[in-house]
Structure 1
Amino acid sequence: MSKIVFITGASSGIGKSIATYLHEKGYTVYGTSRKPDKINVPFNMVALDVTNEVSIENAVAEVIAKEGKIDVLINNAGKGITGPIEDTPTVEMRENFNTNFFGVIDVVKAVLPYMRKQQSGTIINTTSIAGYMGLPFRGIYSASKGALELVTEALSMEVKSFGVKVVNVAPGDFATNIAAGRYHTPVFEDSAYKEKYAENLALMNDHVNSGADPILMAKAIHHIIENKSPKVHYKVGGFMEKFSIVLKRILPDKVYEKLLMNHYKL
């Protein structure tokens, strides 16, 4: 029997690439979107809003009713946010965490009872290489993904005895439409960060536009699912993106900070 895959945020970008690739590999894939009727994809779609607990419960119940199980949960839904910490509305920070952090936890909570009952399952949380470091003008995004990295580590230990594997996958920049869905704090005319933030907004968008093909993430996810003993952490991206994590581990804080500031022209 094919494995049943449940993936959030499958209507576009990395999520759509992963879902399509797994579907082509013979998995039974259920992708999610807030408005699934408007999405034309070769796999199954169900309605889901990760910030709404009732919506989550209904989506999981729908898949369980049809298939009787969920073998793989891929928490891919996420939201970008940019802006100086001082200028970014706190309400938008909370909204970002509701999607990137609490939304993931609520989906995990809804699926885990079924995985514990079947004594098997794989949970894959999509984080970000940005979650390994505090990036200027992306501090809230870094924080939400970094928090998810740590919670995933804890969850992995808590559910291991039930036969459930929990994995983090941290992508770098990929060529998707994520920039269009980000919350961008406006470049305020009276902001102390006006010029530097405006320059970095353009730089961030360039990184996405020149990013890697999302198929690399799809192949990485497929490898993890097929691995009987996956690692807790995976990084998928360019050499320098992954090497930046190594540098943070080995360099003094001030030296690493200076490298980042030079990169972002601060």
Structure 2
Amino acid sequence: MSKVVLITGASSGIGLSIANFLTEKGYTVYGTSRSPKNIEDYTFKLIKLEVTKEDSIKKAVQSIVDAEGRLDVLINNAGKGITGAIEETPTDEMRMVFDTNFFGAIDTMKEVLPYMRQQKYGRIINITSIAGYMGLPFRGIYSATKGALELVTEATNMEVKNFGIHAINVAPGDFATKIAKGRYHTPVYNDSAYKETYQRNLDLMNEHVSDGDDPIKMAKAIYGIIESKNPKIHYKVSNFLGKLSIVLKRILPDTMFQKMLMNHYKL
């Protein structure tokens, strides 16, 4: 029987790549977008879903279960970026990013879990980030949303494992996507104490995304995780430097690791 997969945020980038790839592999894939009518170049079923609205989540999940009779895999990919010094970033914008990256993922998990528990099988794959393993300058809120999701996934995995369900984190590094266009950027204020360092870091962030890996790398990793009989709790899909940074965070003294980060980001 073909597995039924729900992927949030499948209109572009990593989500779109995963959805198309899994469709090629024979899965029944439902991708979501806030505006499905504006999307092109997809091979899967595309439905409307806004992860910050519980009614929208409920309607989308119910429509899939009504049509297919089951829901085997949830991939929480919908996300929003945010940049800026903590001091200068509006708190309302911080909350909006948490609503999407963190609470949106939780609300979608809560909606699919009863169906997965009933069928005694399910895979919940939360797309986090290498940034979730450390606080990055001018990306502190984004790091916080992804780090929080990592911990919630760990807790959820222990709660649902007896029901035949696995909750899994997949942390990507830099990929060539359009995420930079969808970020909330705190303006670079002319009178800001952070003007030069923030602008320099914005340039670095955009450069890293432009030079990032092909999203197909993530799609292949997700396919392998779904097919695995005993998936791990944490996966990192990144270049060597991204994976190394996590190892160094664990083994180096805090002050030494922070100094390395500050040198890397030219602070």
Q: Which residue of 1 aligns with 2:19?
A: 19
Aligned counterparts of 1:216 and 1:153: Cα–Cα separation in 2: 24
1:121-140 matched pairs, under 5 angstroms: 121-140=122-141
| Aligned residue identity for 1:239 | F
Q: Which residue of 1 aligns with 2:111?
A: 110
Q: Is 1:65 aligned to residue 66 of structure 2? A: yes
1:90-239 matched pairs, under 5 angstroms: 90-239=91-240
| Counterpart secondary structure, 2:176 | coil
Cα shift at 1:56 = 0.3
| Counterpart secondary structure, 2:236 | strand
Aligned counterparts of 1:72 and 1:95: Cα–Cα separation in 2: 26
| Counterpart secondary structure, 2:106 | helix
Cα shift at 1:36 = 1.1
Q: Which residue of 2 aligns with 1:31?
A: 31
| Aligned residue identity for 1:143 | A
Cα shift at 1:121 = 0.5
| Aligned residue identity for 1:216 | K
Q: Is 1:257 aligned to residue 258 of structure 2? A: yes
Cα shift at 1:189 = 1.2
| Counterpart secondary structure, 1:31 | strand
Aligned counterparts of 2:99 and 2:204: Cα–Cα separation in 1: 26
| Aligned residue identity for 2:97 | N
| Aligned residue identity for 2:207 | D
Aligned counterparts of 2:131 and 2:34: Cα–Cα separation in 1: 26
- For residues 92-116 of structure 1, the C-alpha deviation after alignment (integer angstroms, 9 at most, x for no partner) is 0000000000000000000000000
| Counterpart secondary structure, 1:108 | helix
Aligned residue pairs total 266
Aligned counterparts of 1:30 and 1:92: Cα–Cα separation in 2: 29
Aligned counterparts of 1:36 and 1:195: Cα–Cα separation in 2: 39
Q: Which residue of 2 aligns with 1:84?
A: 85
Aligned counterparts of 1:233 and 1:54: Cα–Cα separation in 2: 30
Runs of 4 or more above 4 Å deviation = none
| Aligned residue identity for 1:18 | I
Aligned counterparts of 1:166 and 1:102: Cα–Cα separation in 2: 16
| Counterpart secondary structure, 2:124 | strand
| Aligned residue identity for 1:228 | K
Gap regions ≥5 residues in structure 2: none
Aligned counterparts of 1:68 and 1:98: Cα–Cα separation in 2: 29
- For residues 204-250 of structure 1, the C-alpha deviation after alignment (integer angstroms, 9 at most, x for no partner) is 00000000000000000000000010000000010010110000000
| Aligned residue identity for 1:237 | S
Gap regions ≥5 residues in structure 1: none
Q: Is 1:246 aligned to residue 241 of structure 2? A: no
Cα shift at 1:190 = 1.4
Q: Which residue of 2 aligns with 1:3?
A: 3
RMSD across aligned C-alpha pairs, in angstroms? 0.5
Cα shift at 1:38 = 2.1
Cα shift at 1:39 = 1.6
Identical residues among aligned pairs (%) = 70
Query: Higher mean Cα deviation, 30-39 or 168-177?
Result: 30-39
Aligned counterparts of 1:149 and 1:200: Cα–Cα separation in 2: 25
| Aligned residue identity for 2:214 | D
